Structure 1
Amino acid sequence: MQTKAAKQALIDAGRWVSQQGWVPATGGNFSMKTDDGFVVTASGFDKGYLTPEQFLELDQQGNIVSGDGKPSAETALHLKLYELQPQSGCILHTHSVAATVLSRFIRSDSFAVTGYEMQKSLSGIHSHLDTLSIAIFDNDQDIPALAERVAKHHQTHPITHGVLIRGHGLYALGNSIFETRRHIEGLEFLFACELERIKLEGAVK
């Protein structure tokens, strides 16, 4: 995709994600592959009101070649995920309440669900009887170290739809921005359902 088109697609996605309440304040960061490398959001901007000037252009190795502002430290995790899943074309990192709370409530190293029809919104999931699993990693301000933990996990449990960072949020992957948006919407629905189920179970007890 051409750089100009990629920026506009991420601007549109930012507006949509913001309307859902999934990127409060200036949280989150977005990226997309382009014909020349990548475009990523610069740090510190409201994702609901992005402009083309609020993006950085990176080459294939992740070096900044154009744009003002500072890249998020989490850009390193974006680049690692692209390396692990070369077919991925877009990564959207969000901070929803459901994803943040569930990632802290769940003590295991994954969010695993079965029985929901909405699981089929995720690529490769064909039935509500399948088990959908999203890896959860402890938050870390040392992003390169976090990225290496993600890479190590990927060796035995390939990451396909995204990852959760405990107490932080979701990194959703997709072959295109359209698939990534679908994955976010499907996952957020499942997160919300599970959070509601946990509340109801607590109330019954």
Structure 2
Amino acid sequence: FSTRSPDRPTPIGLHAVRIIGREGLRLKVHPLEVINGTPVIDIKPDNAPSPAKAEFSSLVNPETGQAILDAGRDGWLRGLFAGFNGNVSMRQGERVVITATGSAKGHLAPRDLAVVDLATGAPLTSARASSELAVHLEVYRNQPLAQAIVHTHPPKLLALSLRGEIPLLDLPLFEGRVFADKLTRVPAHHPGTPELGQAVGLASREFEAVFMDNHGLVCRGESIIQALGLSEELESLAGIAMQR
């Protein structure tokens, strides 16, 4: 849209807007800022090509795939992922869609998603699943309520653990009790091992969040937003604890 006003006979700007309705000869658009009642006097079509939609494997539900990509980006923006660490997955029936090994969570693309069989862990796509696949599979097998899992490396929570404890339970905050009661911890096991997967899987029967000593945090949820949100809450409490 090119706009003019009585005081400015020349166009004062171009605005990309979306037409949301029409009333007679009037077009309703959004968004558009009005300057001193400036009227719209010229309409120019925007022929710029639309961004290509992400194309997922035929084994990945597009909504599931996009939710994982969004969770990776959101977690990275919040500092829960750094570089290539961490992993995200969602259950899709009797299959699991999980981020591929070596993928940067803040910049995920459809090619960065692997699909495996839940019962056997057998790969169903060419992308290779995260090395922490065992943790994800064991949580899904042990906890039917789990539909999504986010494994993060939250720096504040990790820093507290290196002091010998995670003192979230000691915070005199109502929120501290609510969310800390969802958290447990398991002893250190080498990442990617069956032992770590089994320990986290068993703990997930009772707890929604499992802290793995010397490693990171695993949160499950009935949705990816719920799992990521719990990770954020616990990291926020850890930040408060560090400032006490």
Q: TM-score, normalised by structure 1?
A: 0.79
- State how 1:92-111 maps to structure 2 within 5 Å: 92-107=150-165
What amino acid does structure 2 have at the position aligned with 1:186?
A: E
1:9 paired with 2:73, answer no
Q: Does the aligned pair in 2 maintain the 1:103–1:165 contact within 8 Å?
A: no
- The number of equivalent residue pairs is 184
Q: Is the 8 A contact 1:164 1:170 kept in 2?
A: yes
- The alpha carbon displacement at 1:184 in A equals 1.2
Moved more, 85-94 or 135-144: 135-144
SS at match of 2:169: strand
Q: Which moved more, 1:167-176 or 1:40-49?
A: 167-176
Matched with 1:64 is: 123
Q: Distance in 2 between matches of 1:41 and 1:142?
A: 14
Residue 144 (structure 1) aligned to one of 194, 198, 218: 194
Is the CA contact 2:83–2:104 (under 8 Å) kept in the aligned structure 1?
Answer: yes
**Unaligned residue ranges in structure 2 (runs of 5+):** 1-59
Q: CA deviation at 1:142?
A: 5.5
In the other structure, the counterpart of 1:170 is 217
Question: What is the aligned-residue RMSD (CA, Å)?
Answer: 2.5
Q: State the match for 1:21 in structure 2.
A: 79
How far apart are the structure 1 equivalents of 2:126 and 2:178?
35
> Cα gap change, 1:117/1:16 in structure 2, threshold over 3 Å: closer, same or farther?
same
Deviations 1:167-200, CA, capped at 9 Å, x for gaps: 2211111111121122112111111112222xxx
Share of identical aligned residues, percent? 27
Answer yes or no: is 1:135 the counterpart of 2:185: yes
CA shift at 1:133, angstroms? 4.0
SS in 1 for 2:196: helix
| Deviations 1:1-53, CA, capped at 9 Å, x for gaps | x6221110010111111111111110101110113411000011110010111
TM-score by length of 2: 0.67
Alpha-carbon shift at residue 131 of structure 1 (Å): 4.7
CA pair 150-59 structure 1, distance change in 2 beyond 3 A: closer
Structure number having the greater helix percentage: 1
Q: Is the 8 A contact 2:182 2:209 kept in 1?
A: no
Partner amino acid, structure 1, of 2:137: L
- The residue aligned with 1:203 is none
CA-to-partner distance for each residue in 1:99-148, whole Å, 9 max, x for gaps? Answer: 2112222358x9634532334774xxxxxxx8554224214246201223
Higher relative contact order (CA 8 A, sep 6+): 1
Determine the C-alpha separation between the residues in 2 that align with 1:113 and 1:67.
47
**Contact persistence 2:98–2:113 (CA under 8 A):** yes
Between the aligned partners of 2:171 and 2:110, the Cα distance in structure 1 is 40
Q: Gapped runs of 5+ residues in structure 1?
A: 123-129, 198-205
Encode CA deviations 1:25-83: one digit per residue, 9 max, x unaligned. 10101110113411000011110010111110112312211232x22221101111112
Q: Which residue of 1 aligns with 2:138?
A: 80
Alpha carbons 1:41, 1:54 under 8 Å: kept: yes
